[in-house]
Structure 1
Amino acid sequence: MKEIKVACRCLCFFILGLRWPCRSDIRRRTTCRKDFTKWALHRVSVIRRAVFLLYARYDFSLSRSGLSLGLLLFCNLLHSAEATIAVAANFRETAQEIAQRLESTSPHRFTIISGSTGKLVSQALYGAPFDVVMAADEARPLKLIDEGLATMNARRTYALGEVGLWWPGKTPPFGIIELNELSPRSVCLANPALAPYGAAAWSLLEQSGLDVEWLAGGVRVDNVNLVAGMVAQKQSRAGFVARASIAAMMRKGDLALDDQSILWLSSEAAIQQDLVLMKRAEDNPAAQWWVEQLFEAPIQHLLKSHGYQLPKEEHSQ
């Protein structure tokens, strides 16, 4: 019974301690709520650790440890949180797998929203309830910071993407200028105004020396994932794709392709992908956990296997 008494005392201590820190001071209510949230979450963590220590110290049977187990579940429930993660289209499959992993190892839950970086940031500027925005460039996260929706110290580079020219039937090496063999309507890229991968592709096309009229005739779609689909389905003869998009299609069995059959252009157009933790999520433990875990070894290994370069590797080259 000793361990059950200890667990009861812990629970009573926690419940009796749940009082408003400064109830009488109405003017400081907003500040107090933030302080109270941090204080309460800390206390939950302490109680959870106490229960785990009880299990480690005593050989509990199921019948004798029911109260402690209930207390642990109660603390997990209070400590859990939800976060909405907005991710660039090229990162959708990877983000979904990260969410599954983190949900299996924590009480937190994540909702993944994907789309072109331009559209996601526009939605955030108009009040979309995103907790973390994972862009496919560095410029748009800075815009969120400039608008006061995120802070500079909440911005980090989480991956480096690669763009390539996929031209089925054409084997590298070849030059982008050779696209003039095709009709511009048979060449696809993501919309440069919305998608950083499209902007990178457009910059390479302009530098290639292709005729201006030819450039104006290219097919543009909302995001880089759609480009890979159009080329795979033979709706386009060639297209500028993301390595991560191709890797995702190959993992799902939607595409059988030799990686060397694509002209990868990372040396000319490595794409820095930045994230920001929004100010609205500064006290959201799920959003903070997401950002922290992105830079831990298991998730870093996952990013590499999904076709991304890691920033520190790029800087060391």
Structure 2
Amino acid sequence: MHAPEKLLLAAPRGYCAGVDRAVQTVERALELHGAPVYVRKEIVHNKHVVETLRERGAVFVDELEDTIPEGAITVFSAHGVSPAVHADAERRNLVTIDATCPLVTKVHREALKFAAEGYTIVLIGHAGHEEVEGTMGEAPDHIVLIESEADVDTLEVEDERKLAYISQTTLAVDETRTIIARLRERFPHITGPRTDDICYATTNRQAAVRQMAEQCDLVLVIGSKNSSNSNRLVDVARDLGTASYLIDGADQVQEEWLEGARVVGISSGASAPEELVTALVDFFRARGTTDVSEFEVLREDVRFMLPKQIRQAMTQAGDA
């Protein structure tokens, strides 16, 4: 049984402000309105979080017509939804609470602004990801999706002078930078958002893993398979030549990964709760690892207010 000599815990790691807000939104909705509260798609991409909320009375559905009764309380996930989904909810008289991350909302607004000005919009992102589907739905006739530098090379646009780019918030920072550079090279007139679309949390977690991985023999990232930002953390470590794996929790650690791993780094994706990190540390402590230290790269103090409907309902409940 292999026990690493040392554990390094990447900081920042785990919950970002958008995930914290989204999870709290479902929790408060359950407290205020009672179960069931319906949630379109997974509120955040984490198996553990979804299961915990399901046990408390949240009902996760893929689409609104999947069994949501008329007039029911329905929460939209942190990844955002298209205007068509909002219209559908209105048509079915659903009481909606939008838990879209404000940083995703910012990208939606950029899409609308560029579309209104007649631009063709290049969206850098992963096909099929909920965030991408929501953003593309804002201006479907104006947006083309690209996933790689190779896609830039085959891109055909009507008017190169009316071209803009936006991106998914949870991509690999380095990869996105090279895609944007390729776009600028091919289309010198392309315009972009005023500030980066890749969110602070994605950027910071990747920076922490990048610095930490250089000192590690193995990096374990806690996050679910469908979590884009968690997968990118594994990529960052592997790009530096450090072995790295994505796990949902301590029970998925494989014995052979630990062979010869003297220093093990741990991080977690933006939708993974800290209790999963604690459990993983306990797993190693039980094997005899005693040296556990935080590897802090920077501090985060971002907080987002809960959605207005929740804040108002909480105030009324307090007064009652």
Is the pair's TM-score, using the shorter chain for normalization, greater than 0.5? no
The TM-score normalised by the length of structure 2 is 0.30
The TM-score normalised by the length of structure 1 is 0.31
Which one has more relative contact order, counting CA pairs under 8 Å at least 6 apart?
2
Q: Which has the higher helix share?
A: 1
